[in-house]
Amino acid sequence: MRRKFLVVLLSVAMLAALFSCWTHAAEKPYIAMISKGFQHQFWQAVKLGAERAAEEFGVEITFEGPESESQVDKQIDMLTAALAKNPDAICIAALDSKAVIPFLEQADAAGIPIIGFDSGVDSDIPLATAATDNYAAGALAADNLAELIGYEGEVAVIVHDQTSHTGVMRRDGFVDRIKEAYPKITIVDIQYGGGDHLRSTDLAKAIIQAHPNLKGFFGGNEGSAIGVINAVIEMNMQGKIVIAGFDSGRLQLDAIRSGVMAGAVTQNPVGIGYEAVKAAYMAINGEPVEKTIDTGCYWFNKDNIEADHIKPLLYD
């Protein structure tokens, strides 16, 4: 009887050990991804790329962001909640390049790798950042808008904010390029619409009213560009103001096809999400990662919107 009991006991112990090993093997590394928002198609495309990488590399991800790209406090709350889950890595697209730093320091102290995506931070803590070279992208928009208005005249700018790296770099890339290369072009106003369509529309209308000789307008992200499109249509200024946009959601594509918008800079949002998760996976496994992962950008318009190198980057 005692021998039977010992056999059963050993069998149970072996099964428990096997179950423990199986459970451990079944667990996937967990990566928390916190974006700037969800209101634009851009972020849905980033999420798609992240999900593709998660499936390829066998990791679990969560992808969240505040309703509006002006909600810095809400993004901080999401980052705090993510830290409390003790993830294997965190990917962050910071709305405020400075406000997130104390929380990234907490993660770093806990040994949690940090990967930036879309937008960097004012810290060396992120092991890598997967993003567009936003300064170069802003300059690319400036070159094309300058050509479209004949290299002279008044232009204006609306970008999403002056706290994130994307907002600052796109603005500065555009402004610096105009000042350096096109002395006959004057930037008459720069405003910040928080990426909100309605707010950007109101700002654009006010600028157009204040500057009746305006020839060109640069909208520095999806929400900003759509606001400019709305303003130009509502004020019946189609064909009188040349619009250069940024990103490539459905409304901008429709505006380019109809001729309301001249063209836009498209990023590679699927690539941004994919490369962020890939870098996080590599960091979790102790592999070296490139500090800066440039995911590329291109100017597109009605002429090349169906081109093989452009079409995969559009996310309508």
The percent of residues above 90 in pLDDT, for the chain, comes to 85
| Per-residue model confidence (pLDDT) at position 27 | 83
Contacts of 187 (CB under 8 A, 6+ apart): 154, 155, 156, 157, 175, 178, 179
Residues 261-281 pLDDT 10s: 999 999 999 999 999 999 999
Is the per-residue pLDDT at 8 higher than 80? no
In a domain, 22, yes or no: no
Which CATH number characterizes residue 122's domain? 3.40.50.2300
In a domain, 48, yes or no: yes
Torsions phi, psi of 274, nearest 5?
Answer: -65, -50
Residues 64, 178: one domain? Answer: no
Reference 154, options 191, 196, 195, 188; nearest CA is: 188
| Per-residue model confidence (pLDDT) at position 148 | 98
Residues 216-242 pLDDT 10s: 999 999 999 999 999 999 999 999 999
Which of 266, 283, 309 is at the close of a domain? 266
Total Cβ atoms within 10 A of residue 158:
28
For residues 71 and 239, give the distance between their C-alpha atoms in angstroms, rounded to a whole number: 35
| Per-residue model confidence (pLDDT) at position 25 | 38
Residues 36, 158: one domain? Answer: no
Total Cβ atoms within 10 A of residue 1:
5
Is the per-residue pLDDT at 16 higher than 70? no
| Per-residue model confidence (pLDDT) at position 243 | 98
In a domain, 290, yes or no: yes
Residues 148, 259: one domain? Answer: yes
| Per-residue model confidence (pLDDT) at position 38 | 81
Q: Containing domain of residue 171, as a range? A: 134-266
Residues 247, 276: one domain? Answer: no
Which of 225, 248, 266 is at the close of a domain? 266
Total Cβ atoms within 10 A of residue 306:
10
Q: How many domains does the chain have?
A: 2
For residues 161 and 176, give the distance between their C-alpha atoms in angstroms, rounded to a whole number: 17
In a domain, 10, yes or no: no
Residues 34-83 pLDDT 10s: 999 887 889 999 999 999 999 999 999 999 999 988 899 999 999 999 99
| Per-residue model confidence (pLDDT) at position 40 | 80
The dihedral region occupied by 38, where left means phi > 0, alpha psi between -120 and 50, and beta the remainder, is alpha
Residues 286, 219: one domain? Answer: no
Q: How far is CA 97 from the centre of its chain?
A: 13
The percent of residues above 70 in pLDDT, for the chain, comes to 91
Residues 143, 255: one domain? Answer: yes
User: CA Rg, the chain, in Å?
Assistant: 24
